[in-house]
């Protein structure tokens, strides 16, 4: 099986209502973290999730979580995330105090 596309390097936090949702597992959807049928023609299928309690949820965007469809922090180990955090740290260190 091919790896899914990394749609984001941090989770997507959304206040959810009770209902049934389709989480994008392929990473191609333009409506992350939810499926927009961009997976059609790939080997991926959306994961159907029933939300039974209205509250904020942290959805996985890197598509690597061990607790799909929800974030488990795996994105913090991705090279893309590490590079991003290093860039932010470097920018902070070269920004002059005003
Ligand atoms: S668009 Fe990614 S699983 Fe449907």
Q: What is the pLDDT of residues 61-92, one digit of tens each?
A: 999 999 999 999 999 998 888 888 888 898 88
Q: Is 37 in the pocket of ligand 1 (CB under 6 A)?
A: yes
**DSSP labels, 31-74:** STTB--STTTTSS---EEEEE-S-EEEEE-SSS--TTTTB--SG
What is the reported pLDDT for 79?
87
Q: What is the pLDDT of residues 6-63, one digit of tens each?
A: 999 999 999 999 999 999 999 999 999 999 999 999 999 999 999 999 999 999 999 9
Instruction: Determine the residue of 39, 41, 47 to mutate for testing ligand 1's pocket, defined as the one with the most ligand atoms within 8 A of the Cβ atom.
Output: 39
User: Rounded CA gap, 18 and 16, in Å?
Assistant: 7
Q: Report yes or no on whether pTM surpasses 0.95.
A: no
- Ligand 1 centre distance from Cα of residue 93 (Å): 39
Dmax of the chain from CA atoms? 53
What is the reported pLDDT for 67?
97
Q: Is 5 in the pocket of ligand 1 (CB under 6 A)?
A: no
How large is the C-alpha radius of gyration of the chain? 16
- Ligand 1 centre distance from Cα of residue 61 (Å): 12
3-state secondary structure (DSSP) of residue 16: strand
When pLDDT is cut at 50, 70 and 90, the band that residue 93 belongs to is: confident
What is the reported pLDDT for 96?
67
Could you tell me if 75 and 11 are in contact, meaning their C-beta atoms sit under 8 angstroms apart? yes
């Amino acid at each position: 099986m091919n790896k899914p596309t990394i749609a984001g390097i941090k989770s997507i936090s959304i206040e959810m209502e009770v209902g049934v949702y389709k989480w994008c597992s392929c990473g191609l959807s333009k409506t992350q973290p939810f499926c927009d049928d961009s997976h059609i023609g790939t080997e991926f299928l959306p994961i159907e999730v029933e939300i039974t309690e209205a509250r904020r949820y942290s959805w996985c965007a890197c598509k690597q979580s061990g607790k799909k469809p929800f974030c488990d922090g795996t994105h913090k180990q991705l090279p893309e995330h590490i590079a991003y955090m290093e860039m932010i740290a470097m920018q902070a260190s070269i920004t002059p105090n005003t």
